[in-house]
Amino acid sequence: MTTIKTLFQNNILKTALSPQDNPERLDASVIVMPLIEHDYPAKTPVMWNACYRELGMSEYANLMAVGSTEHLDIILDGLRTDPRYVGGGAGVGFKDSSFSKLDTLDETAQAVGSINLISKKDGVLTGHNTDGEGYAMGLEDLIAEHNRTPLSESRVLMFGSGGTANPIAFALAKRGAKLVISNRTVEKAVSLADRVNRHFGTSIAIGVGEDEVATYASTSDVLINVSTKGASGRFEDYAAFSPTGESVEQNLEMSRAFLEHLNHKPIVSDILLRGNTTTPTLTLAQEFGLITQDGLPMVINQGVKAFMLLHEQEVLSRGYTEQDIARIMREAAST
**Of 19-28, 31-40, 49-58, 115-124, which gets the smallest average pLDDT?**
19-28
Contact 161/328 with Cβ under 8 angstroms? Answer: no
Cα separation, 157 vs 129, in Å, equals: 22
In a domain, 142, yes or no: no
Q: Total structural domains in the chain?
A: 2
Its pTM stands at 0.90
Please tell me whether residues 160 and 67 are part of one structural domain.
no
pLDDT at 28: 94
Give the residue with greater pLDDT, 277 vs 292.
292
Cα separation, 170 vs 246, in Å, equals: 31
Q: In whole angstroms, how large is the CA radius of gyration of the chain?
A: 20
Taking only the tens place, the pLDDT of each residue in 94-125 is: 988 999 999 999 999 999 988 999 999 999 99
Please tell me whether residues 301 and 286 are part of one structural domain.
no
Taking only the tens place, the pLDDT of each residue in 29-43 is: 999 999 999 898 889
CATH number, domain containing residue 247: 3.40.50.720
pLDDT at 321: 97
CATH number, domain containing residue 96: 3.40.50.10860
Q: What value does the mean pLDDT take over residues 67-78? A: 97
Give the residue with greater pLDDT, 138 vs 233.
138
Please tell me whether residues 168 and 282 are part of one structural domain.
yes
* Strand 222-225 to 267-270 pairing: parallel
pLDDT for 276 beyond 80: no
In a domain, 141, yes or no: no
Q: How confident is the model at residue 60 (pLDDT cuts 50, 70, 90)?
A: very high
In a domain, 136, yes or no: no
Give the rounded percent of residues in the chain with a pLDDT score beyond 70.
Answer: 100
pLDDT at 119: 98
In a domain, 17, yes or no: yes
Please tell me whether residues 97 and 222 are part of one structural domain.
no
- The backbone torsions φ and ψ at residue 50, rounded to the nearest 5 degrees and listed phi first, read -65, -40
Chain centroid, CA 256 distance in Å:
26
Please tell me whether residues 79 and 95 are part of one structural domain.
yes
Cα separation, 210 vs 205, in Å, equals: 16
Nearest CA-CA partner of 296 in 330, 325, 267: 330
In a domain, 143, yes or no: no
- The backbone torsions φ and ψ at residue 182, rounded to the nearest 5 degrees and listed phi first, read -110, 150
In a domain, 135, yes or no: no
In a domain, 144, yes or no: no
pLDDT at 244: 73
Please tell me whether residues 173 and 250 are part of one structural domain.
yes
Q: How confident is the model at residue 270 (pLDDT cuts 50, 70, 90)?
A: very high
Q: What value does the mean pLDDT take over residues 300-314? A: 97
Up-side HSE of residue 282: CA atoms within 13 Å toward CB? Answer: 19
pLDDT for 232 beyond 80: no
Give the rounded percent of residues in the chain with a pLDDT score beyond 90.
Answer: 85
Please tell me whether residues 35 and 125 are part of one structural domain.
yes
Please tell me whether residues 307 and 281 are part of one structural domain.
no
Please tell me whether residues 153 and 274 are part of one structural domain.
yes
Give the residue with greater pLDDT, 295 vs 24.
295
- Which residue range(s) make up the domain with 238? 149-290
**90 CB-near residues (< 8 Å, 6+ apart):** 34, 35, 98, 115, 116, 117, 118, 127
Please tell me whether residues 216 and 305 are part of one structural domain.
no
Nearest CA-CA partner of 41 in 222, 281, 294: 294
Please tell me whether residues 180 and 78 are part of one structural domain.
no
Q: How confident is the model at residue 231 (pLDDT cuts 50, 70, 90)?
A: confident
Give the residue with greater pLDDT, 334 vs 301.
301
Please tell me whether residues 22 and 104 are part of one structural domain.
yes
Cα separation, 98 vs 72, in Å, equals: 7
Taking only the tens place, the pLDDT of each residue in 175-214 is: 999 999 999 999 999 999 999 999 999 999 999 999 899 9
Query: Mean pLDDT across the chain, nearest whole number?
Result: 94
| Number of other CB atoms surrounding residue 174 within 10 Å | 18
In a domain, 180, yes or no: yes
pLDDT for 137 beyond 90: yes
Separation of first and last alpha carbons in the chain: 39
